[in-house]
């Protein structure tokens, strides 16, 4: 083994819910060593910001069939029914697993129900697109509570080693190295942010769980780390990428000059919250009845477009979410985190509506894979938001993301357990070449990185946002081509930094979204093109697929 090479049986890139669940699931199945590589602190992730909860059938009045139906209805005729069924039905066991490792979910007793038979029952919330209450939550800080339990469990497990402030640069595959034979993933090149050195992490299996790519847009509720690294690395490794045009904009980010990226959970609308516009000063009027039979509980794509339309039509800067029908006591108990944040800003949500705007939230596309994370590259797995299994289709049903993030790692670990002997046998015995910087020098022009970063986020918001047109997409494509050329030259001329790695990934993801959107000549779910405002039934269950060594995005029917 080379001096700068770290060998592990399994490498997990990302430390959110899907990443840490993967490490723990692998530890249960394997006796080998597991490395978790994460670009920031271990709990610096999108998962920690999740407020709503996990959609899962846990009540006798609910059924798997109803959850499956709600998911497919929200998904705009693009969900893979088999994938939906597999993930939905695996949910209850994984909820129990989370509770077993110490996750504390809200019970009815926590909210004041004093009946003995109800006290220990999980409190089930309802969100947009769900016809039943099935969202398990921990107050309004569900993600933070789950992440806390996962971090503690990983820290206690002697098989798992966590490398904080290490940012993955590129996957190492046999095809990248020019080696003959079946394409296999051998690990990843990883930048140690503290030393500036690129280290080789090699492993029998590599799982990416880097989460979303919200930072590709100007307005987002995602964490700063959400730069699409997993999808970008997978694309560069020649994995298939699917359905990147379907980017979900959450309808309700808090609109206030002192706060950025703060989400107002869909669970508020599940508790009867009503969306309104202030058409006249001091007068609030509802509008969602003009857009969908479920009104304020319509699926997210419908609600986000409705708000966007009303804002552009009226010139208003925000919409409002009215919770004044609920008591202050209830709101403080059910939504303590949101209530406190609003209160700090002078908004008492029990007495006045909350100002809200849409923002980039979740990528329904990603690395094309099975529900067990398997890809066409041997030994390479994708789990969580950077995966595209067919669960979400053209529009994710609320709180199905955390469900996918806990189910996929268990299924992936099961597949890895079966295939590990063969992976060990087929792995090439050659030494992996060290990362080389060539003639790179230190740069004194960091303005190039910050300018390109800002420009990408601005034109993606303006041209490839909630509503698109062919002309807007053409403009975006011209800009991203120029920026890609600048980044590529900069990347090879100067020493690599974490900012440069993230810019490169954002540019790659932006181009994937643009190309995918341009290839789909229809409107479906989260992809709305004003030049083609109707869904084309011939494209039901047809994926948009992009692969690096294949020209352009192509439409491929699901199997």
pLDDT digits (tens, 9 = 90+) for 365-410: 999 999 999 999 999 999 999 999 999 999 999 999 999 999 999 9
- Report how far residue 421's alpha carbon sits from residue 239's, in angstroms, rounded to the nearest whole number: 23
Q: Are residues 231 and 267 in the same domain?
A: no
Is residue 408 within 8 Å of residue 26, measured between CB atoms?
no
| Cβ contacts of 399 within 8 Å, gap of 6 or more | 52, 53, 54, 55, 127, 130, 135, 266
pLDDT bucket at 441, cuts 50 / 70 / 90? low
Eight-class DSSP state of 396 = P
- CA distance to 314, 469, 484, 514, per residue, from 477 (Å): 30, 12, 10, 7
CATH number for 447: 1.20.58.100
Q: Same structural domain for residues 349 and 223?
A: no
Beta strands at 197-208 and 241-242: parallel, antiparallel or unpaired: unpaired
**DSSP at 368:** E
CATH code of the domain in which 270 resides = 3.90.700.10
> Does residue 341 share a domain with residue 463?
no
| pLDDT tens digits for range 447-463 | 778 889 999 999 999 99
Q: What is the pTM of this model?
A: 0.93
Residue 174 buriedness (CB in 10 A; 0-12 / 13-18 / 19+)? buried
Measured distance CA(437)–CA(445) in Å, rounded: 18
Rounded to the nearest integer, the mean pLDDT of the chain is 92
Do 385 and 492 reside in the same domain of the chain? no
279 pLDDT above the threshold of 90: no
Beta bridge partners of residue 12, listed in sequence order: 36, 207
Candidate from 187-196, 470-479, 490-499 with smallest mean pLDDT: 490-499
| Beta carbons of 484 and 452 less than 8 angstroms apart | no
- Contact assessment for residue 473 and residue 514, using Cβ atoms and an 8 Å cutoff: yes
Distance from the first to the final alpha carbon of the chain: 42
The residue assigned the tokens 């230190």 is: 442
Alpha helices in 171-246 (DSSP H): 174-177, 229-236
Of the listed ranges 45-59, 380-394, 468-482, the least confidently predicted one is: 45-59
Phi, psi of 260 (to 5 degrees): -125, 150
Residue 131 inside a domain? The answer is yes
Angstrom distance (rounded) from CA 36 to CA 88: 27
Domain assignment present for residue 488? The answer is: yes
What beta strand segments (E) does 14-94 contain?
A: 34-37, 54-55
Based on the fold, state whether residues 299 and 389 are members of the same structural domain: no
Check residue 442 and give its pLDDT: 60
Residue 480, domain extent: 440-531
Q: Answer whether residue 63 shows pLDDT above 60.
A: yes
Query: What is Dmax (Cα atoms) for the chain?
Result: 73
Query: How many folded domains does the chain comprise?
Result: 3
Chosen domain end from 334, 359, 384: 359
Q: Are 539 and 524 in contact (CB under 8 A)?
A: yes
The pLDDT of residue 204 is 97
* Catalytic residue positions, numbered: 300
- The verdict on 37 and 148 lying in the same domain is yes
């Amino acid at each position: 083994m080379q001096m700068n090479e770290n060998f592990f049986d399994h490498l997990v890139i990302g430390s959110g819910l899907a990443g840490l669940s993967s490490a723990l699931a692998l530890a249960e199945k394997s006796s080998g060593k597991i490395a978790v590589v994460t670009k920031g602190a271990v709990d610096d992730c999108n998962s920690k910001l999740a407020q709503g909860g996990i959609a899962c059938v846990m009540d006798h009045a609910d059924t798997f069939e109803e959850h499956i139906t709600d998911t497919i209805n929200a998904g705009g005729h693009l969900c893979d029914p088999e994938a939906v069924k597999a993930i939905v039905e695996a949910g209850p066991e994984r909820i129990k697993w989370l509770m077993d490792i110490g996750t504390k979910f809200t019970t009815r007793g926590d909210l004041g129900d004093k009946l003995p038979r109800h006290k220990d029952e999980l409190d089930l919330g309802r969100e947009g697109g769900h016809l039943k209450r099935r969202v398990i939550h921990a107050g309004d800080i569900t993600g933070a509570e789950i992440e806390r339990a996962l971090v503690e469990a990983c820290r206690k497990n002697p098989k798992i080693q966590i490398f904080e402030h290490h940012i993955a640069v590129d996957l190492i595959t046999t095809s990248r190295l020019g080696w003959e034979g079946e394409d296999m993933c051998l690990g990843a090149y990883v930048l140690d942010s503290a030393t500036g050195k690129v280290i080789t992490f090699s492993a029998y299996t590599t799982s990416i769980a880097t989460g979303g790519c919200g930072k590709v847009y100007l307005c987002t509720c995602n964490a700063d780390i959400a730069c699409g690294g997993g999808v970008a690395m997978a694309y560069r490794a020649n994995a298939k990428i699917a359905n990147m045009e379907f980017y979900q904009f959450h309808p309700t980010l808090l609109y206030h000059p002192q706060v950025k990226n703060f989400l107002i959970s869909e669970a508020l609308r599940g508790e009867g919250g009503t969306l309104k516009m202030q058409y006249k000063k001091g007068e609030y009027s509802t509008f969602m009845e003009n857009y969908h039979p479920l009104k304020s509980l319509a699926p997210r794509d419908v609600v986000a477009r409705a708000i966007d339309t009303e804002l552009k039509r009226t010139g208003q800067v925000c919409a409002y979410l009215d919770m004044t029908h609920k008591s202050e006591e209830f709101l403080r108990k059910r939504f303590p985190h949101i209530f406190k944040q609003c209160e700090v800003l002078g908004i008492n949500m029990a007495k006045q509506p909350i100002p809200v705007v849409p923002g980039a939230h979740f990528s329904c596309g990603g690395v094309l894979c099975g529900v067990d994370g398997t890809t066409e590259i041997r030994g390479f797995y994708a789990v969580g938001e950077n995966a595209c299994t067919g669960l979400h289709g053209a529009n994710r049903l609320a709180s199905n993301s955390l469900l996918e993030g806990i189910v996929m790692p268990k299924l992936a670990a099961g597949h890895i357990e079966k295939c590990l002997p063969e992976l060990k046998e087929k792995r090439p015995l050659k030494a992996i070449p060290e990362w080389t910087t060539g003639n790179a020098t230190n740069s004194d022009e960091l303005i190039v990185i910050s300018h390109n970063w800002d420009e990408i986020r601005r034109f993606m918001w303006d041209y490839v946002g909630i509503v698109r047109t062919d002309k807007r997409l053409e403009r975006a494509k011209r800009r991203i081509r120029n920026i890609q050329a600048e980044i590529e030259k900069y990347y090879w001329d100067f020493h690599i930094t974490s900012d440069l790695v993230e810019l490169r990934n954002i540019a790659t993801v932006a181009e994937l979204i643009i190309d995918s959107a341009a290839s789909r000549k229809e409107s479906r779910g989260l992809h709305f093109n004003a030049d083609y405002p109707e869904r084309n039934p011939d494209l039901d269950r047809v994926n948009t697929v992009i692969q690096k060594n294949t020209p352009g995005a192509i439409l491929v029917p699901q199997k």
